Amino acid sequence: MGKPNFSDEFKRDAVSQITERGYPVAEVSQRLGVSRHSLYA
């Protein structure tokens, strides 16, 4: 199993949802279908 390759746009949007919109990491990770670890990384 290889490392997923997320686009820069996907990464920016995920971070924006947490830092600018104030959504919890757990909620964003579930909505996007990625692990919380991936969001922190």
Q: In the prediction, which pLDDT does 41 show?
A: 85
7: which residues sit within 8 A by CB, 6+ positions away?
none
The residues spanned by each domain of the chain are 8-40
Q: How far apart are CA 20 and CA 13, in angstroms?
A: 10
pLDDT band at 4 (very low <50, low <70, confident <90, very high): confident
Q: Residue 11: is its pLDDT beyond 90?
A: yes
Interior/surface letters 2-40, b for 16+ CB within 10 angstroms, e for the rest: eeeeeeeeeeeebeebbeeeeeeeeebbeeeebeeeebe
Going by the DSSP 8-state scheme, the letter that residue 21 receives in this structure is S
Q: What percent of the chain has pLDDT over 70?
A: 95
Contact 9, 18 (CB under 8 A): no
